[in-house]
Structure 1
Amino acid sequence: MYATLARGVVRHPWWTISAWLAVAAIVGFFGPGLSASGDQADFLPSHYESVQAGKVQETAFAESGGGSAATFVVRRRDGAALTGADQQLVEQVAGQLRDKAIPHVSEVQASKATVSENGLVQLLQVTVDRPQSDPGTEEAGRALRAAAGLLFENTDLTAGMTGDVGIVIDAQDAFASAEQVIALATVVLIIVLQLLIFRSPVAALLPMVTIGVLVFVSVKLIGIAQRIFDLTAEQSVTVWVTVVLFGVGTDYILFLLFRYREQLRTGEDPRTALIHATARVAKVITSAGAAIVIAFSTLAFSSFGSFKAQGPALAIAVAATVVTALTLIPAIVSLLGPKVFWPSTSWQRQPRARASAKLSDLIVNRAGVLAAAAVVVLALLSLGALRFQASYDYNAGLPQDTESAIALRDLQRGFPVGALNPTSVLLVSDTGQPLDEAGVDSFRSQLSGVDGVGQAGPASYSPDRTIAKISMLLDHDSGSPEAVDTVADTLRPTAHNAAPAGTHALVGGPTATFADIRSAVNQDYSLVFPLAAGLTALVLLALLRSIVAAVLLMVLVGLSYLATLGASVFVMQDGLGKDGIIFNVPIFMYLFVVAIGTDYNILMVDRLREETRAGHAPAGAARLAIRHTGPTAVAAAVILAGTFSSLTLAGVALLAEMGFAVAAGILISALLVSSLLVPTLTVLMGRGFWWPARLTPAGRPQPMAGSDPDGPPEPAADRPGDESTVGSGDARDRR
């Protein structure tokens, strides 16, 4: 099958390219844009208490309206306490904003009641009648910011907008800026590394042209899937698609070019060499891509909507990358021929590659010692995973020089830290009769004594007095681990138990939403982790037909994940002093390490099997696999880790943490596991590694240069030379 595909693509490149571009044009023209949201509550199933509380509050209290809050924090420019004239000016500005009748702005309030006790700040509160994810919310927020800026411009006061609306706007701007920075950094990094590897601007530009178009097509395909299945992803989905496609796509191009160069060095003519190379790597790319697609597709079974949308979106993007790598890339290389390596002529001769030869000898001769050392390193890193702490504080993850972040710090000069995002406790009558005021006061009194609650506000009632709302100000930021623990472990149980007879209590608000997200995510972890591991193991079993190899590789992948999580804890929590790591980092880290780490395992194991079937003993097969495939795996890992490392430049904590974690996981998987542990295990276990498969020598000679093979080429026996390591090779070959 792979040989047939390779012959068809290589022999008919123009037809292949035309068909690919036609499909891309149709998808690009008819495909809708992505649907993204920054409101985490949008992703929770309806049975969670915070969602139910939000619906009750929206129905019972007209001022909620299912809308969003914009809070202007006003202070004097000189930092002094607000004067009576200052407070009067704030109320005057509130009236002027109200008179502007900005679309979707339903209410503007400011009074002496919104002045802090120390008089340093005053709040000007605005209600927008649209949810956070609605485009109208952003439009209203930007109009409010512009208007307030002009109204306070020539006064002694300054005002910054925070709250739901301000944070959403700044988050959108941060992600848009991050996307540009990451795209630029990724492109520059890939070009530089490709130049170092192949010393060819043509090879360096090949991923830029093809994957650049692929990103556009993939985004449209994801948009189509979102429309069909009614899914909404997080704001970071475009950033992730860009990074994953450039990283994984460049890896697959690298697999092909390394193998193509190797085939050319055996003396085959360019077309035959490309057919052989494409047929050989097509199996690896298909299996590796299937592992990634399957791993991310398991998120479709998640209860948390963000995972449910994000995983399949990335799976679609990777599937499109596999198709591109098996069709468009070989077709373009077929037209270019060896000129893809221009101006270098190193493809015409075997490099000395002393470094890779010495490394392969060391790994084979010291297999037991090196394997034990690698396992010890992984085990020590894994210890950090025991101290992992999840954080839900998205606000702290945004750049701290934004208007909403500065306004939030100003607010804390005069109000409790939880004032911006209070936790709402609703007491609901089960009988339809008005609530007893004395009972509500007693209920409120019990809530105010909960450890971690800074203040319990007065109760407000629905028009029919069947529902009472009490705003709770917590002692910690709404997304901090301490605040989430307070709501989940103490406030909620207290509210449920203290509700008078004939009533029930619901706890809502941002922190309650985070507590429910934690429950949903933990539930998803218990489902997605084993499901992704099991399906990936089936891919390995189908490829290798070896139970022992598949089980051992999955054990190594699991150890790689724990080591990666531990390294992230050591760096982020211990080194950088963070309270915790953003809650969704571990699951995406797991999927990337399982899926992409399996890529390199597949690349190495497939070569080990190829050389074993060619008649080499385990030690000889390991030497050849390390020499030929080791440089490919290392180069691919460096490029992929580099693309993910570009996320650390984004200025957004979620992306920076994810970028570091995935980059670390890729390097651990490629360097310690695929390039070291896997070949040492085959040396130590011999043919037992492949049980129950019996790898008998293929017995078929390598096709002569210029021949037209009828099937996938059988591997050549030991060759006089091997692939060079990154940047190595005879200086005479450098052009």
Structure 2
Amino acid sequence: MGPVAEARREAEPERGGPPPDGAGDGRAGGRRLPWAVVALWVLVVALALPFAGKLGGETRDEAVDYLPGSADSTRVQQLVEELPGGDTVDAVLVHHRDGGLTAADRAAAAGQVRRIAAAYDLTGGDAVPRTVPSKDGTTLMTPFSLTGIADEEAQIQAVTDIRDDLGGTPDGLTVEVGGPGALQTDMEAVFGSIEGTLMLGTALVVALLLILTYRSPVLWLVPLVVVGAAAVVSMAVVYGLARGADLTVTSMSSSVMTVLIFGAGTDYALLLVARHREELRRHRRPYDAMRAALRGCGPAILASSGTVALGLLCLLAADLNSSSGLGPVGAIGVVCALAAMTTLLPAVLVLLGRRVFWPLVPEYGVEPRPRRSLFTAMGTSAGRRPVTVLAAGTLLLGTLALGATNLPGPLKQEDTFTDRPESVTALETLTAAYPGASSQPITVFTHDAQADEVARLARTTEGVADVREGRSGGGWTAFDVFATDPPESAGEKDTLRALRDRLHAVDGADALVGGPSAQQLDLETTNGADREVVIPLVLVAVLLVLVALLRSVTAPLMLVVAVIASWGAAMGLGGLVFGPVLGFDGLDPGLPLLTFVFLVALGVDYGIFLMHRMREEGLRGAPVSEAALTALRTTGGVIASAGIVLAATFCVLATMPMVMMAEMGFVIAVGVLLDTFLVRTYLVTSASLLMGRRVWWPGRLSRAERARETGDGGRGDAG
């Protein structure tokens, strides 16, 4: 054994010989504390498990849960549900034959319409719904509204039953059920398939990557089990808040929370396990090694989770309901992951001892054989030509960001799914068969006293084809307004704006203009306004955390600029892939804001891991150039593993059958990989080398570095 190991053995004298591996440090705290922590977590998980399983029943995916809180369309949707007839399910029966409908087709269609009228209560009494033939003779459109079905599940079941009862049509005649009720049914079917698939897929991906990372038959299972415990607890907490505090939880926010827990939680585990392995070579007892590991990387993990949680909580300032609800749900997941990774994981690792690392067991006093790693080579290349590396990397990111000019336009309702369900194909059939007229009404509400004036102004508004009075109640009257342009087209949006300008001006009417197309317009408008509010909040929150951790202004600014560059490049790659490769016809309006929040918060994580280790080396007296390369060499592998795990978990999200989730998963995964292998590895390292001590300005470490450079003996407090 070398002199260093001998010195360490003398510094830590054996008291009757070392305890059995994994038995602790020989003190009561070393023996009892890990067992107490594990027992506490077992109790918490056991109590949380029944409630976690109920979270799926609390998710809400109605239109109002995704709409802006203050928009016309949101208030209209609320009135539709509150007024008499609010339990109405609006749908449309679509019969189509490419070569033109036959007499048998028309007879079969009429029979199916009569069966629906006989089986369900329809608005308008016992009258059979009116069928509207297309001018080209290929299509029949029969709008109808089911009433008297208050329960949402029963409404969905009714649409499903109607679809199942549409058999017996002549060969070649297609019959589909479309409309808002059918769209909601299809969305529920998709959301219902997401939860279990996403959880299982994410767990399998994380397990595979941990096996490849650790190359151990046991070690990979420890972080996975701990992440699972964090997921159970977070789901129970969110369920409790949804029930007790009326927290809005959508299937999207629940899915994102799952990905965050597995991705961020595994990242923290990778950092802690790597540091624990390092400290086991310096400490004889696992308990002491873990204490040193937590002291070393604990601040970085805390700051990392803090940036993510604070960044997500900034979404509370968003007016969009789905965004503001996502903030606390995601933050709960991150906090639970942090708690598990800083308490349960250390306790389990201490109890299992060194043998959990088998076959690559870290031995006390034995330093690993130096070898030239990939990140050593990367650091060397950045150190030799920092200006070239920084300029080339910046140019590459800027070039990729130009792809954002090719991003598709706003996502339409019919483009929401990666596959086209029946409600979408029915709408496409109607759009093609009834050109020049909208098959999707714009809903207008007004107070009864001004109903005639509002109806008159609506009929004379440019772009309006027809106005029909709907139901009324509670002092309100509703109208269905049909535009001359197709749903969600530029022409219909102009009509919506014109209607709002004219009807809002009617004194005392309190006129509201809503409906599916108005909802999409409000989503676009509100997301733009939310970006102006939330993005500055996120940047300020992240900067404050970084300044507090790194005791510097320059380094935090550098990290934030770097991660913004990663986000821009990832969005640019999305522009090159979404339409041309994946065939997505639209971009979800909330994508830029949500991906920015996630990439800034999550991307800064790796900067924290790197710069915190660099600061540690600086406090030990290493100059900036040496500290930067040492930090890259020691943390590069962990950052790479963490980045791959996080990107892989969001890739699972990208496989979900919703365009929004697929787009979000792609952008975040690509952004994380760019940040991991280009920005943190090359650009941050080369920029740090070029700035030298100024990277820590105005902190004391920058002055201590200057003192070393000027030969003052390194005096001064570098804390």
What interval of TM-score do these two structures reach, taking the shorter chain for normalisation?
0.7 to 0.9
Aligned pairs, number: 674
Cα distance change on mapping 1:368 and 1:514 into 2, 3 Å: same
Equivalent AA in structure 1 for residue 423 of structure 2: S
Matched, 1:469 2:469: no
Matches within 5 A, 1:165-180: 165-180=181-196
Secondary structure, aligned partner of 1:456: strand
> Partners of 1:172 and 1:7 in 2: how far apart?
54
* Distance apart, 1:386 and its partner CA: 5.5
Decide which moves more: 327-336 or 6-15: 6-15
8 Å contact from structure 1 (residues 132, 165) kept in 2: no
Matched, 1:493 2:501: yes
* Distance apart, 1:562 and its partner CA: 2.5
* Distance apart, 1:336 and its partner CA: 1.8
8 Å contact from structure 1 (residues 487, 511) kept in 2: no
* Distance apart, 1:321 and its partner CA: 0.2
Cα distance change on mapping 1:8 and 1:641 into 2, 3 Å: farther
Matches within 5 A, 1:421-460: 421-425=440-444, 432=449, 435=452, 443-448=458-463, 456-460=465-469
Q: How big is each residue's C-alpha offset from its partner over 1:660-679, in whole Å with a ceiling of 9 and x where there is no partner? A: 00011111222222222222
* Distance apart, 1:325 and its partner CA: 0.4
8 Å contact from structure 1 (residues 72, 161) kept in 2: yes
Equivalent AA in structure 1 for residue 574 of structure 2: S
Gaps of 5+ in 1: 449-454, 699-735
> Partners of 1:36 and 1:128 in 2: how far apart?
24
Secondary structure, aligned partner of 1:123: strand
Match for residue 716 of structure 2?
A: none
> Partners of 1:189 and 1:55 in 2: how far apart?
41
Matched, 1:127 2:145: yes
Secondary structure, aligned partner of 1:203: coil
Matched, 1:274 2:315: no
8 Å contact from structure 1 (residues 10, 274) kept in 2: no
Q: How big is each residue's C-alpha offset from its partner over 1:490-543, in whole Å with a ceiling of 9 and x where there is no partner? A: 55436657x7x9977542211112222223222221111111110111111111
Determine which of 635, 642, 646 is the counterpart of 1:629. 635
* Distance apart, 1:33 and its partner CA: 2.2
Decide which moves more: 184-193 or 159-168: 184-193
> Partners of 2:592 and 2:282 in 1: how far apart?
45
Cα distance change on mapping 1:113 and 1:71 into 2, 3 Å: closer
> Partners of 2:558 and 2:31 in 1: how far apart?
37
Cα distance change on mapping 1:23 and 1:443 into 2, 3 Å: closer
* Distance apart, 1:267 and its partner CA: 6.3
* Distance apart, 1:335 and its partner CA: 2.0
Match for residue 33 of structure 1?
A: 55
> Partners of 1:43 and 1:173 in 2: how far apart?
17
Equivalent AA in structure 2 for residue 379 of structure 1: G
Determine which of 186, 208, 211 is the counterpart of 2:202. 186
Cα distance change on mapping 1:665 and 1:312 into 2, 3 Å: same
Match for residue 100 of structure 1?
A: 119
8 Å contact from structure 1 (residues 49, 506) kept in 2: yes
> Partners of 1:42 and 1:565 in 2: how far apart?
26
* Distance apart, 1:616 and its partner CA: 1.0
* Distance apart, 1:342 and its partner CA: 2.6
Secondary structure, aligned partner of 1:582: coil
Decide which moves more: 652-661 or 404-413: 404-413
Match for residue 605 of structure 1?
A: 611
Equivalent AA in structure 1 for residue 452 of structure 2: L
Match for residue 429 of structure 2?
A: 410
Cα distance change on mapping 1:177 and 1:29 into 2, 3 Å: closer
Matched, 1:13 2:34: yes
* Distance apart, 1:226 and its partner CA: 2.1
Secondary structure, aligned partner of 1:119: coil
> Partners of 1:251 and 1:281 in 2: how far apart?
12
> Partners of 2:338 and 2:62 in 1: how far apart?
33
Equivalent AA in structure 2 for residue 571 of structure 1: V
Q: How big is each residue's C-alpha offset from its partner over 1:543-578, in whole Å with a ceiling of 9 and x where there is no partner? A: 111122222222223333323223322332565564
Determine which of 109, 112, 115 is the counterpart of 1:90. 109
Matched, 1:117 2:125: no
8 Å contact from structure 2 (residues 375, 633) kept in 1: yes
> Partners of 1:371 and 1:411 in 2: how far apart?
54
Match for residue 661 of structure 1?
A: 667
| Identity across matched positions, percent | 29
8 Å contact from structure 1 (residues 593, 666) kept in 2: yes
Match for residue 17 of structure 2?
A: none
Equivalent AA in structure 2 for residue 41 of structure 1: V
Q: How big is each residue's C-alpha offset from its partner over 1:308-340, in whole Å with a ceiling of 9 and x where there is no partner? A: 111110000110000000011111111222232
> Partners of 1:405 and 1:572 in 2: how far apart?
20
* Distance apart, 1:133 and its partner CA: 9.0
8 Å contact from structure 1 (residues 492, 507) kept in 2: yes
Gaps of 5+ in 2: 1-24, 706-719
Match for residue 357 of structure 2?
A: 341
TM-score, normalised with respect to structure 2: 0.84
Q: How big is each residue's C-alpha offset from its partner over 1:7-27, in whole Å with a ceiling of 9 and x where there is no partner? A: 968862221111012122223
> Partners of 1:573 and 1:587 in 2: how far apart?
20
> Partners of 1:564 and 1:258 in 2: how far apart?
29
Cα distance change on mapping 1:94 and 1:413 into 2, 3 Å: same
8 Å contact from structure 1 (residues 167, 404) kept in 2: yes
Q: How big is each residue's C-alpha offset from its partner over 1:652-703, in whole Å with a ceiling of 9 and x where there is no partner? A: 21111001000111112222222222222222122221122223989xxxxx
Matches within 5 A, 1:46-445: 47-54=70-77, 65=86, 67-75=88-96, 79-101=98-120, 111=129, 113-129=131-147, 134-146=152-164, 148-149=165-166, 151-152=167-168, 157-266=173-282, 268-345=284-361, 349-350=368-369, 352-385=371-404, 391-416=410-435, 419-425=438-444, 432=449, 435=452, 443-445=458-460
> Partners of 1:274 and 1:42 in 2: how far apart?
45
8 Å contact from structure 2 (residues 68, 523) kept in 1: no
Match for residue 715 of structure 1?
A: none
Cα distance change on mapping 1:401 and 1:565 into 2, 3 Å: closer
Q: How much is the aligned-residue C-alpha RMSD, in angstroms?
A: 3.5
8 Å contact from structure 1 (residues 68, 130) kept in 2: no
> Partners of 1:311 and 1:289 in 2: how far apart?
14
8 Å contact from structure 1 (residues 456, 470) kept in 2: no
> Partners of 2:476 and 2:202 in 1: how far apart?
57
Secondary structure, aligned partner of 1:321: helix
> Partners of 1:113 and 1:143 in 2: how far apart?
21
Cα distance change on mapping 1:51 and 1:12 into 2, 3 Å: closer
> Partners of 1:99 and 1:131 in 2: how far apart?
15
Secondary structure, aligned partner of 1:515: helix
Cα distance change on mapping 1:364 and 1:279 into 2, 3 Å: same
Equivalent AA in structure 2 for residue 293 of structure 1: A
> Partners of 2:450 and 2:441 in 1: how far apart?
27
Cα distance change on mapping 1:515 and 1:544 into 2, 3 Å: same
Equivalent AA in structure 1 for residue 160 of structure 2: R
Cα distance change on mapping 1:189 and 1:401 into 2, 3 Å: same
* Distance apart, 1:637 and its partner CA: 0.3
Decide which moves more: 323-332 or 416-425: 416-425
* Distance apart, 1:158 and its partner CA: 4.2
* Distance apart, 1:460 and its partner CA: 3.1
Cα distance change on mapping 1:401 and 1:560 into 2, 3 Å: closer
> Partners of 2:324 and 2:636 in 1: how far apart?
36
Match for residue 588 of structure 1?
A: 594
TM-score, normalised with respect to structure 1: 0.83
> Partners of 1:127 and 1:475 in 2: how far apart?
23
Match for residue 710 of structure 1?
A: none
> Partners of 1:381 and 1:108 in 2: how far apart?
61
> Partners of 1:466 and 1:435 in 2: how far apart?
12
> Partners of 1:316 and 1:75 in 2: how far apart?
49
